[in-house]
Structure 1
Amino acid sequence: MTDSNRDPRLTGLDGFRVEIDAGRARGDIVLCRPPMNVITMPQRDQLRRAFEALDEDPAVRIIVLRAEGEHFSSGGYIRGFLEASPEVVSNLAWNIAAPARASKPVIAANRGYTFGVGFEISLACDFRIVSETCQYALPEQRLGQIPGSGGSARLQKIIGITRTKDIVLRSRRIPARQAEAWGIATECVPDDRLEATVDALVDELRGFAPLAQRTAKRLLNETEDALLSTAIELEGHCYGRLRQSDDFREGVEAFHEKRKPQFRGS
């Protein structure tokens, strides 16, 4: 079901649409500028607002970022970089980091070309499910530029400096299976299984307690650069707060009663 009436941020969208399935607590952001799903400069800010709207929507538990056609996105509208003001360019990384800032889990479904900003926004998601046709690349060196929306920084955190240099400095394309082996992709599946795999992951994630899920995502994001001792201390504080939650009590009781827990998000 397409629903653009919930929030003014979900109207007049450029190159993508938003679909909300309240019955499955799922919100999809769908790139729809075939055949390459090029992402324009104005679209980046709209994407940020769409993620924020879905994150605030109580009917949505899980957010999915996907695309129409055989390619996720070949990247940004190149001439737009020359036309954009310095102020707009300075916000590129902030806009594309919207999936990471969302409190809810975000799944990217990638197939075909996933280049430039298409790769960067996927890297900001929590899960990257890829079809065997997927190719990742940061090709900015071919234009006399570098990635500008967090791509090289996020990639280095995931795979280390040696492999990141190999990808960035050579504008190298990484096929799906290699991306999975390197830890860039969460899972690689046959192309005709991409949607079903994403559906299954959405259903799995919906089964967990919302408060604990949001807490885990935020804790992992905020302790990525922390000392081990600091991360452990913060984990303990979060654990202590969740121990007082209704959902934790329900989880414990359901475990002992050998039944499925009914989490309420409190």
Structure 2
Amino acid sequence: MQNFNIDQFLASDFDGFRVEIDSDHERGDIVLKRPPLNVIAMPQRDVLRQVFEALDAHPAVRVIVLRAEGEHFSSGGDIKGFLEASPEHVSKLAWNVAAPTRCEKPVIAVNQGYCFGVGFEFSLACDFRIAAHSTRYALPEQNLGQIPGSGGSARLQKIIGIARTKHMVMRAKRISGEQALDWGIATECVPDHELEQATEALVDELRRFSPLAQRTAKKLINDNEDAPLAVAIEMEGHCYSRLRSSNDFREGVEAFHSKRKAEFRGN
């Protein structure tokens, strides 16, 4: 995908969201904008996947942010769309929602108000979740005679364990942003008016590090999630050895000894 094609694609008039690129801060934002609840339509999920992939390939973007306009992040999916979608389309839902996880770059979800269903599942697929005090997380599919279908219960169980996942999934329970922070779902929980400030701070923090080391750490952690400890340690050692020969590592060591700020190039 050529750079001008990426820019042209990201400038498209998307249904239910828009894309913003801040080259000065090396930040690419996907902004949900289907008021008042930012419902995520069925076809929108595949397009969101393509946008995540395009931002991951964009040379001006170091950090990807998924956020929303208005009072709520997302109340979930278009319920009617589930009955109308073909089995083939439904079978791709989890792959589309997993796009943030597959991105090499760090991805931040910024949540406020309702963060339900597929909105929560997209957020769980991100690397970091910043919750506002108003945030309410839920997987309410039991109310429809259904279960989460895009990785929600699976990812949640990895984070909070079987008992709490059953509490949220089997009882369709909502939890607050503060409780999500306590349970390890959210990285931070801040007052609503500080949400953008907290996002900017995290973006700037992540930009300080080597892009190569960031990519390596993300892939290593994701790949080792189910690996036995001995295998995980072995893989960590291999990745560490590869990074030792990188220009970024040399720059980091030299900057440390010179007591100056490192200028990482990602190679």
TM-score tier after normalising by the smaller chain length:
over 0.9
* Aligned position for 2:116: 115
CA contact (8 A) 2:53 2:103 kept: yes
Whole-Å separation in 1 of the counterparts to 2:114 and 2:10: 28
Whole-Å separation in 1 of the counterparts to 2:11 and 2:47: 8
Q: Which amino acid aligns with 2:254?
A: E
Structure 2 unpaired stretches of 5+: none
Give the structure-2-normalised TM-score: 0.97
Whole-Å separation in 1 of the counterparts to 2:193 and 2:151: 30
After superposing on structure 2, the runs of 4+ consecutive aligned residues of structure 1 that deviate more than 6 Å are none
Say whether 1:45 aligns with 2:41.
no
Q: Secondary structure at the match of 1:43?
A: helix
* Aligned position for 1:139: 140
Q: What per-residue deviation string (whole Å, max 9, x for no partner) do you get for residues 130-189 of structure 1?
A: 100000000000000000000000000000000000000000001111110000111100
CA contact (8 A) 2:142 2:170 kept: yes
Whole-Å separation in 1 of the counterparts to 2:106 and 2:155: 17
Q: What per-residue deviation string (whole Å, max 9, x for no partner) do you get for residues 114-136 of structure 1?
A: 00000000000000001000000
Q: What per-residue deviation string (whole Å, max 9, x for no partner) do you get for residues 12-70 of structure 1?
A: 41100000011111000000001100000000000000000000011100000000001
* Aligned position for 1:249: 250
Whole-Å separation in 1 of the counterparts to 2:54 and 2:135: 28
* Aligned position for 2:206: 205
Shift of 1:7: 3.9
CA contact (8 A) 1:51 1:102 kept: yes
CA contact (8 A) 2:56 2:105 kept: yes
Q: Secondary structure at the match of 1:6?
A: helix
CA contact (8 A) 1:111 1:135 kept: yes
CA contact (8 A) 2:6 2:58 kept: no
CA contact (8 A) 2:66 2:110 kept: yes
Whole-Å separation in 2 of the counterparts to 1:35 and 1:168: 25
Structure 1 unpaired stretches of 5+: none
Shift of 1:8: 2.5
CA contact (8 A) 1:9 1:46 kept: no
Q: What per-residue deviation string (whole Å, max 9, x for no partner) do you get for residues 208-233 of structure 1?
A: 00000000000000000000000000
Whole-Å separation in 2 of the counterparts to 1:109 and 1:33: 16
Whole-Å separation in 1 of the counterparts to 2:222 and 2:5: 30
* Aligned position for 1:103: 104
CA 1:5–1:153: 2 relative to 1, 3 Å:
closer
* Aligned position for 1:27: 28
Whole-Å separation in 2 of the counterparts to 1:245 and 1:64: 27
CA 1:9–1:127: 2 relative to 1, 3 Å:
same
CA 1:4–1:77: 2 relative to 1, 3 Å:
farther
Q: Secondary structure at the match of 1:64?
A: strand
* Aligned position for 1:61: 62
Q: Secondary structure at the match of 2:7?
A: coil
* Aligned position for 1:225: 226
Give the structure-1-normalised TM-score: 0.98
Q: What per-residue deviation string (whole Å, max 9, x for no partner) do you get for residues 242-262 of structure 1?
A: 000000000000000000001
Task: Work out the number of aligned pairs and report it.
Answer: 264
Q: Give the % identical residues.
A: 71
CA contact (8 A) 2:6 2:54 kept: no
CA contact (8 A) 2:18 2:32 kept: yes
CA 1:232–1:10: 2 relative to 1, 3 Å:
farther
CA contact (8 A) 1:62 1:105 kept: yes
CA contact (8 A) 1:34 1:69 kept: yes
